[in-house]
Amino acid sequence: MPLFRPTPLLKMATSTGGKILEGVFGINKPIGISSAQVIRDCQNFFDPSARFAPALEQVREQRDKESKYQRNRRRRFPNKVQTKIGHGGTLDPLAGGVLILGVGKGTKSLQQFLLCTKTYETVVVFGASTDTYDRLGKIIKKGDYSNVTRDAVQKGLEPFRGKYRQMPPLYSSLKMNGKPLYEYAREGKPIPREIETREVEVSELELVEWYEPGTHKHYWPDEEAGQAEKDVAQSVWRVAKAQEDGGEESAAKMAAEEESKALEEFNSKKRAAEEAVDGLVSDETRASKRAKNEEGNPEDTLMSGALEVKKEKLTQPPKGRGSDLVPVRPDDMPAPWEGKGPPAAKIRMTVTSGFYVRSLCHDLGEKLGCGAMMAELVRTRQGQFTLGGANCLEYDDLLRGEEVWGPQVESMLDKWNARPGEIQEPTVENGGIKVESETVPAREEEPVAASG
């Protein structure tokens, strides 16, 4: 039974008349910007548009009727009127692909998408592990990848199919005793108790492409973690392994031992770690200056993550605090290894809510004994929203002007309102793909970002 009865969102509601555009659509988020920045970019394009003028007029009329108390709650921007937009599940800056956006009252439907299944494609590069489990972190350890083959990876994926309990990344947003896990690592402190695992389910897990050494450009990061950070990360991983192998009692005993060991090592190596960090900062500064000197004309480049094939005039949104969050590796920068380097693999998976793709990449590397990290991530589907589908807007179309994005967004919102509130999950039937509709209950513990 649905928690609420959906009603059509498009209506004539302003004193001046006009169709109010509200509903849900998908957008192909580029790599390199935050999900919140995508919302701000959409607002920059939607707010001046005549298509969204009736919705903004409705907001103004509602505010005219507000009490003094309600107006005071917006004291920071009392007169700012924006298109209300939220997202139905964030994507990290390193990830691209389907980002579901709700407009106006469509934001009320977004929590339903937090529980639907999602399909991802990720590139895993072997031979090293990082503190963040991806290529944007610092290297914690390196391993021998000479025996990593396609067949070995295929076999290594087997334990991750179906239902199992997954350990979240150390640098995830999860908290322990009110404090994010990554803060313990940053401060060189041990985790105060065992990390809670989550039950997840992987209904599809397929190795879709294999990259032999020397045939790809997926690199490890150049920066290594300080010794204190390495000690804490290693201790957490050992406790995690004890949880998996020996249960809670074994993990608790090891956690106490690791706490004592970590504190001792941290105090003894703190000075050396700080010196190492100072050196890394100096190297980073020199690399940053070198990259800046090698930059071309900024007018010839597109926004991070955008296509760079067509030379056409594109309207760039203002750069925000969520823009350009993923550094671009210079082409002439030497590889962080000798010889051809490690192999890599592209893996496709369909997973339930709460699944960490980065954890899968890291855990696969641990299973193979060589270490691994996530190099790329694309969400190709969430619910019935599919990358390249009729209900998913290309981000670059925003830059091409309202004559391009306007009819598409209006059509997508119209289609949503024809069947509001439904989440369609793909299922396999008779060797083909069938789309079934279901109403998924809201999940309160995962916040949905909304702006406006």
Distances (CA, A) of 244 to 1, 116, 192, 240: 37, 27, 18, 6
* Active-site residue, selected from the candidate residues 92, 134, 231, 396: 92
Distance of CA 160 to the CA centre of its chain: 20
Instruction: Give per-residue pLDDT as tens, 320-338.
Output: 899 999 999 999 999 999 9
Distance of CA 363 to the CA centre of its chain: 18
Q: How confident is the model at residue 14 (pLDDT cuts 50, 70, 90)?
A: very low
92 is catalytic: yes
CA quadruple 322, 324, 326, 329: dihedral, nearest 10: -170
Instruction: Give per-residue pLDDT as tens, 165-196.
Output: 998 887 766 677 888 776 776 676 767 777 77
Retrieve residue 221's tokens. Answer: 């990061």
Q: So what's the pLDDT on residue 277? A: 43
Q: How confident is the model at residue 4 (pLDDT cuts 50, 70, 90)?
A: very low
Least confident of 134-143, 172-181, 309-318, 336-345: 309-318
Q: 0.85 exceeded by the pTM?
A: no
Q: So what's the pLDDT on residue 421? A: 58
Percent above pLDDT 90 for the chain: 53
Q: How confident is the model at residue 216 (pLDDT cuts 50, 70, 90)?
A: very high
Q: Where are the alpha helices (DSSP H) in 201-356?
A: 227-293
pLDDT at 314 over 80: no
pLDDT at 288 over 80: no
Asked if 277 and 226 touch (Cβ cutoff 8 Å), the reply is yes
Q: So what's the pLDDT on residue 3? A: 37
Task: Give the helix/strand (H/E) hosting 139.
Answer: strand 139-142
| Pair type for strands 372-382 and 95-103 | parallel
Q: Is 261 exposed, middle or buried (0-12, 13-18, 19+ CB in 10 A)?
A: middle
pLDDT at 23 over 60: yes
pLDDT at 285 over 50: no
Least confident of 5-9, 315-319, 332-336: 5-9
Retrieve residue 448's tokens. Answer: 């949905």
Asked if 160 and 364 touch (Cβ cutoff 8 Å), the reply is yes
Retrieve residue 91's tokens. Answer: 């994507």
Asked if 201 and 338 touch (Cβ cutoff 8 Å), the reply is no
Which long-range contacts link 271-279 to residues 24+ away (Cβ below 8 Å)?
272/227, 273/188, 273/226, 273/227, 273/228, 273/229, 274/226, 276/224, 276/226, 276/227, 277/226
Regarding predicted confidence, which is higher, 199 or 15? 199
Beta strands in 168-223 (DSSP E): 175-176, 179-180, 198-211
